[in-house]
Amino acid sequence: MKKKISFSGKGSRADIGNMTIYRMLPNRYTDAVGPFVFLDHIAPTVHEVNATAKKAGTGAHPHRGIATLTYILNGEAEHFDSKGHHAKVGAGGIQWMKAGNGIIHDENLTPDAHDKDRLTHAFQFWINLPAQHKAEPPQYLAIRANGVPQQILNDSAGWIKVIAGGYDHLHSAIPDYSKQFIYHLHLEAGKQFSLDTEDGLEYAAFLPELGATINDSAFDAGEFIEFDRNGGTILIVNKNTVAMDIVLFGGEHYTEPIVAEGPFVMNSHLEIADAYKDFFAGKYGTINYG
């Protein structure tokens, strides 16, 4: 039986600097899918040669109570934070930062110097931490493209990458605090992919650049699709004349209260107030750019 679709829609614009951003989550229908409370699609952008020194980013800013996960499809992301972490991750790689009890970070996306197309394209997810982990110290993890598990699909249908969670015998190095998954599926023209789902888990999909037929319904590029919580199959068919990509994500329902304000996601308004108080008191530290 095919899984039912609860709703679909397109994100709202949330541009930052020279980045074109579509905010897919939260949206008018839901505040979370599994542990994921935020998804920004940093749309594909071609950068002019004379814009080499121009960085696309939000500048230094705090977080608390979440883990951020940035998946880079094109370009290079550079990360700095107030706990001394610094790394550059290129196309196909992942940056994961557990904000825990408070951190300041700065993340910039620029074209890869070796990419003649000068393209940037990325996703950023926020993973809501269970209450017991919101008070833990921050952590950071950089995963290069060759460290992201990938499986070639049967019948030359394409491939699937495991950005978070597990699929078949593959498992991402990103820590799990509850059951979670992010898959990047690349499907060749005329091919299809079927995913058997698990009862009770929450599932969503996003089509970044091309449309697809999902469980017999046609969806356009830029659409966010959420499924019901009953078990069933998700069948994706690529009727385009070229290969297409889709992001599938979700996981276990977050059962604790969710209170989000600005860069903080906590379990109560008092905890939000404490997050701001500690930030303004300088307890998150400062970034040393070296």
Residue 54 belongs to some domain of the structure: yes
Quickly state the pLDDT bin for 58 (edges 50, 70, 90). low
By residue range, what is the domain housing residue 141?
5-280
Residue 290 inside a domain? The answer is no
What pLDDT does residue 50 have? 64
The answer to whether residue 285 sits within a structural domain is no
- Residues 254-286: tens digit of each pLDDT: 999 999 999 999 999 999 999 999 999 999 999
Give pLDDT, residue 51: 53
The average confidence (pLDDT) of the chain is 94
Local confidence band at 112 (pLDDT 50, 70, 90 cut-offs): confident
Is 287 part of any domain?
no
- Would you say residue 54 has pLDDT above 60? no
Would you say residue 62 lies in a domain?
yes
Amino acid 53: pLDDT: 44
Check if the beta carbon of residue 79 is closer than 8 Å to that of residue 86.
yes
Q: What is the domain count for the chain?
A: 1
Q: Percent of the chain, pLDDT > 90?
A: 85
Q: Is the dihedral of CA 101, 102, 108, 114 positive or negative?
A: negative
Please tell me the distance from the alpha carbon of residue 223 to that of residue 216, in angstroms, as a whole number. 15
Q: What is the CATH classification number for the domain harbouring 179?
A: 2.60.120.10
Task: Tell me, letter by letter, the H, E, C secondary structure of the chain.
Answer: CECCEEEEEECEECCECCECEEEEECCCCCCCECCEEEEEEEEEEECCHHHCCCCEECCCEEEECEEEEEEEEECEEEEEECCCCEEEEECCCEEEEECCCCEEEEEEEECCCCCCCCEEEEEEEEEECCHHHHCCCCEEEEECHHHCCEEECHHHCEEEEEEECEECCEECCCCCCCCEEEEEEEECCCCEEEEECCCCCEEEEECCCCCEEECCEEECCCEEEEECCCCCEEEEECCCCCCEEEEEEEECCCCCCCEEECCEEECCHHHHHHHHHHHHCCCCCCCCCC
Is 65 inside any structural domain? Answer: yes
What is the tens place of the pLDDT at every residue in 196-222? 999 889 999 999 999 999 999 999 999
Of 256, 257, 238, 258, give the one whose Cα is nearest residue 246: 238
Residue 213 confidence (pLDDT): 98
Say yes or no to pLDDT of 137 above 70.
yes
The whole-angstrom separation of Cα 278 and Cα 201 is: 35
CA 241/CA 29 separation, integer angstroms: 32
| Structural domain includes residue 137 | yes
Question: Greater confidence, 50 or 145?
Answer: 145
Whether 176 is covered by a domain: the verdict is yes
pLDDT tens digit sequence for 153-186:
999 999 999 999 999 999 999 999 999 999 999 9
pTM (two decimals): 0.94
